[in-house]
Amino acid sequence: MKGRSSKAKDVQSCGVHSFSTEDTHNVRYALLAWFAQNARKLPWRAKNKLEENDNIRGYAILVSEIMLQQTQVTTVIDYYKKWMTKWPTTLHLSRASLDEVNQVWSGLGYYSRARRLWETAKLIENDLNGVMPRSSEELLKLPGVGRYTACAVASIAYGESVGIVDGNVLRVMSRMRAIGAEIDASAVTEWIWGLANNLVDPEQPGDFNQSVMELGATVCTPKNPSCDKCPVKDKCLAKQSVPDIEESCELCWKGIPERSLGALDFPKKAKKNASREEITLVLALSKLSDGGRVFAVQQRPQTGLLANMWELLSLPATKDSKEDEQEQRLTEFLQEKKILYTDFQRRGSVNHIFSHINMKYIVFSATFVKGDESLTFVSADDFLQKGISTAMRKVMALVKSSREKRKGDAIMKDPKQKSISSYFQPVKK
């Protein structure tokens, strides 16, 4: 997998945007020495150093890399510990149900990652005799494993000399080599993959790759980089005026705005498409049972947003729908299901931002009388223990708080409840 793709080879470069042999040697030495002294103590790093079983070591790094996609390290740590305690090997994970997996993953977001990890464990146990793939090329064949993850696991767990490129590496490389072209362009990304593959230390590829990511996460940060603390600041071109040696160079900074000669000029990103606005109608349909109040729940489809996750009864709505139209949509749904109900009312709304969707959940409630026998009812506590999204936790919190408020209001307004003043007669003068 190592080497520069044809897309990167086609890029016209002035020569400034690569590392010389001397720079390569110096950067390797400086970053490895810095990482040895400054690496954060993280559970997957400890596991990688101490675990002697190759299969378990690779699996442990795969779990951490999948969890760390689009998620902060501080959030991942507890989830990782819980996951590895419950399923320490691919064999243990392969025997779990998808519901169990979603339950442990609940709150971590991007839920398709959990399903793919589970599918990977099954594939390794059923098709590969429990043997974890060792090379980046073979790791790429696993469900949901992309180029970055394959190279990260191969280099960190198995010592394959391949570079890696994630958001941190893109930022570090673009600053060090003053790459002013839009970083999201496929040819530019391929160029940086070439830099990463040429720069990686062949003797310690795992530690070196982690050192570049660590630098991006703790020093060469997006908004407030600590350039004075950077171990490779003397090799960084971000603060230098780099002339466009050739007008045809596709990697030099061009156009407006002018460079400010600082790290914050890089990386140069294309404007993101605005997130789309969506509305989901949620119905907290409940009834009393022997154990208390229970709610009707459903499982989402196997593909798409929040695949396989549990939720309260939910329906999509148009973003410009009015309140009476939303109520009609839900009452029609109840009629279709031949559900008799009482006490239908609007409870409020909850906003939740997904990576590409700004979702507004408009929440209604009703009391179930009789009807659809196929409905699944669970208590609020049991629902919260299922594999549910953070958004649905917010919805349930709204439902519970509105019920408690309503209960409190009912007590306050109970006409049979006498006030303390009613027991006293006014004094006659």
State the catalytic residues: 65
On the CB side of 253, CA atoms within 13 Å amount to: 25
DSSP of 148-161, one letter per residue?
HHHHHHHHHHH---
Supply angle C-alpha 414, 420, 422, rounded to 5: 85
Q: Cα separation of 319 and 332, whole Å?
A: 19
The amino acid sitting at 19 is: F
Q: How far apart are CA 81 and CA 73, in angstroms?
A: 12
Instruction: Look at strands 292-299 and 376-379 and give their pairing.
Output: antiparallel
Residue 133: DSSP 8-state: P
Helix axes 54-68, 112-127, angle to 10 degrees: 160
Q: How far apart are the first and last CA of the chain?
A: 101
Could you give the CA distance from residue 17 to residue 121 in angstroms, rounded to a whole number?
A: 41
Name the residue type at position 318.
Answer: T
The CA distance from 223 to 330, in Å, is 45
- Quick check: 391 and 359 in contact, CB under 8 A? yes
């997130």: which residue's tokens? Answer: 275
Whole-angstrom distance, CA of residue 280 vs CA of residue 326: 10
The amino acid at residue 29 is Y
The Cβ of residue 195 has, within 10 Å, a number of other Cβ atoms equal to 25
**Angstrom distance (rounded) from CA 347 to CA 137:** 52
Between strands 376-379 and 357-370, the pairing is: unpaired
Interatomic CA distance for residues 151 and 178, integer angstroms: 25
Q: Is the dihedral of CA 22, 23, 25, 26 positive or negative?
A: positive
Q: CA nearest 196: which of 321, 19, 400?
A: 19
